[in-house]
A and B are shown apart, each in its own frame.
Chain A
Amino acid sequence: MAAEVRRSAEGLELTLTGEWGVREFDTLEAQLAAVDVQSAHLVRVDAQPLTRLDLAGAWALHRFIARARAAGAEVSFQGAAPEQLRLLDETLKEAEKGVEAGPPPPPPAPPHGRVMHLLIDLGVHALHVGGNLKQGLAFLGKASVTALFSAAHPKHLRPTSIARHVYDTGITALPIVSLIAFLISAIIAYMSARQLRGLGADIYVADLVTIGVLRELGVLLTSIIVAGRSGSAFAAELGSMKLNQEVDALIATGVDPFEVLVVPRIIGLTIALPLLTVVADLVGLTGGGVLCHFLLDMPFSQYIGRVNDAISDTTFWVGIIKAPVFALIIAAAGCYRGLQVRSSARELGRLVTVAVVQAIFFVILADALFAVLFMEMDI
């Protein structure tokens, strides 16, 4: 029992015992709330038996005393009042002064009807989307101008930095890209073999794998992996540099962050992704061959012959031409979202997610546009 209550003729006598700390705060509050102060004229508090009173305990006591006084009771202490109460009063007084000195709260917005609300939300949202679009365009414009400038003045090209990004986004991605390409083409070969065998046409498995991997899957899967790996890395790297004020430091030193951070990443990835795609194509064709050999008993020489027949002049190039475009999309999304980070770690996480999701979305959208384009061109 942290507070003993005795009722006498003229009021209450409260004896506080034990520890009154933040750990006991809930029990204290509950106990004090249960004390009825309505009928008391005098409340006498004896705080001397307390072994410990911290600020939270004092706050509980302060609240109780305020309640008793509001109910019309006179509160006094046996001996001196605890020092912590004085500290509390001082603090609260200071705080009140601060509140008075602070700026007045903004007037509440006038009430709107439901339809009006919807319209306002729609408008705000539209403005937001418009602003986003404008910012994105500004980013692309700035990045292009800087890239062109750097290309014209090779001194500004930062070859070391570009090489690092080719290594980080390309070389280190080789194992995972190869593995996925191998597995996916094996899966395609297996699925199509099951269907084509019924028609006695399982020799065409090789054609399917070749065209599927070279035209679409090689580049698309590689891009999606790279978007997850490097798009997120770009956004996280630039974002935490932003949080650390490293970007501000660059600007203050007179160094253009687009030149040292954005353009090398874009160029690096634009070099790395087509090369990765070539590897993915090769490994994919191998995967198809291995499956055909073991599952369809098709000798490698026959598989290679079929692949040779299936490849037309454009099959390989139709796939590979997309890689630099996808690389641009991934790098731009990552850098753009990374540089948008402003204040908090949570924002960093959100923008990295947005970067990856948008990179993948725009890669697939671009792939669809390419498909339409190639169909119109009849290749």
Chain B
Amino acid sequence: MDPVVQVQGLVNRFGTQVVHDGLDMQVMPDEVFGIVGGSGTGKSVLLRTILGLQRPQAGVVRIDGHDITQMTEAQLRIVKSHYGVSFQAGALYSGLTVKENIQLPMLEYLKLSERALDDLALLKICLVGLSPQAAGKYPSELSGGMVKRVALARALALDPSLLFLDEPTSGLDPIGAAAFDDLVLYLQRELKLTIVMITHDLDSIFRTCNRVGVIVDGRMISDTLEGIVDNPNPWIQEYFHGERARARVEALQHGA
């Protein structure tokens, strides 16, 4: 099977500060891949590079086998219609209602009748567990959890098979975060999605991810969830075996 997302030898530099120094990463189909790393290790920069929001100094980024670093804007636009992104703070368009937010990608890429647009948007709203009444609301009227769900619905607007989530559970209470994780898992299973997510939330990693990539010193160490917790790297040890993580690792090992 070919990887859905493949990053090879990625180098990102800002002035003298090296963020990525030969980073490799591979995401296989139907996988939930978690990207982990301390603050400032370049998780968001990595995501921005994969999304084509910024070009790297060196390296190859392939999505479905196509190298996006060499693409023109027009080619990139087609690739962009094949994945969905949900940004950390939601990034909902504040001047549009929930429904209009979800319809925006459809209007941009598809030719659909008014009725079809409404139907499909409502369907997406229901799919992420919101009530249809939310359709007419503006982002400023939504709670934090609802914003995340609408962002997810917008990411799913074009029925992509690849989804990027930037800290999907940050800012949610543990119960809300768990519910959101369950939703992501449910959608992953039902829609056969490949998901790449940046997260800090240990609960979220243990609940949803199949494989985890940790950015350490500008490179990525990736392994299965079971494998990564045994990795000898000191930062990874600290991350997965610190005070906060121990109980979960034990649960994982007992369960396995």
Contacts and interface: CB of A to CB of B under 8 A. Distances in A.
Interface stretch (B3-11, B13-21, B55-63, B131-139): B131-139
A63 B115 CA distance: 12
B131 A99 contact: yes
Contacts of A344: 94-95, 138-140
Interface in A22-37: 22-23, 25-26, 29
Interface stretch (B67-75, B106-114, B198-206, B239-247): B106-114
Given A59-B120, A92-B126, A345 B95 contact: yes
Interface string B139-183: 111000000000000001011000000000000000000000000
Contact of A342 (B112, B130, B132, B140): B140
Interface of A is mostly: helix
A110 interface: no
Given A55-B191, A95-B132, A22 B113 contact: no
Interface string B91-125: 00111000000000010011111001001100111
Nearest to B133: A102
B106 A99 contact: no
B108 to A, nearest CB: 12
B219 to A, nearest CB: 34
Given A59-B119, A92-B126, A99 B132 contact: yes
B249 interface: no
Contacts of B2: none
B52 to A, nearest CB: 21
B116 A91 contact: no
Contacts of B156: 55
B151 to A, nearest CB: 16
Nearest to A53: B159
Interface residues of B, number: 31
Interface string A337-361: 0000011111100000000000000
Interface residues of A, number: 30
Nearest to A97: B131
Nearest to A103: B133
A75 interface: no
Nearest to A243: B94
Contacts of B158: 22
B127 interface: yes
A102 B131 contact: yes
B95 A26 contact: no
A238 to B, nearest CB: 17
Interface string A7-33: 000000000000001110110010000
B159 A22 contact: yes
Given A99-B132, A102-B133, A346 B112 contact: no
A95 to B, nearest CB: 4
A61 to B, nearest CB: 13
Contact of A55 (B123, B129, B132): B123
Contacts of B95: 344-347
Contacts of B119: 59, 63
Contacts of A23: 109-110
Contact of B112 (A25, A88, A92): A25
A20 to B, nearest CB: 10
A254 B206 CA distance: 40
Contacts of A92: 126
A54 B110 CA distance: 15
A87 interface: yes
A56 interface: yes
Contacts of B126: 91-92, 94-95, 98
B159 A56 contact: yes
Most-contacted residue by chain A among B110, B125, B138, B159 (CB, 10 A):
B159
A83 B132 contact: no
A7 B130 CA distance: 41
Contacts of A347: 95
A91 B123 contact: yes
Contacts of B130: 98
Contacts of B93: 345
Given A25-B120, A91-B123, A94-B129, A343 B110 contact: no
Nearest to A87: B190
Given A54-B159, A55-B123, A22 B190 contact: no
Given A63-B119, A102-B131, 13 more contacts: A22-B110, A23-B110, A26-B111, A26-B112, A55-B191, A83-B190, A95-B126, A98-B133, A99-B133, A102-B133, A243-B94, A343-B140, A346-B95
Closest 3 CB pairs of A and B: A343-B140, A346-B95, A344-B94
Interface of A: 21-23, 25-26, 29, 54-56, 59, 63, 83-84, 87-88, 91-92, 94-95, 98-99, 101-102, 243, 342-347
25 contacts: A21-B159, A22-B120, A22-B158, A25-B112, A25-B120, A26-B111, A29-B113, A55-B123, A55-B127, A55-B156, A83-B190, A84-B190, A91-B123, A91-B126, A95-B125, A98-B132, A99-B131, A102-B131, A243-B94, A343-B139, A343-B141, A344-B95, A344-B139, A345-B93, A345-B95
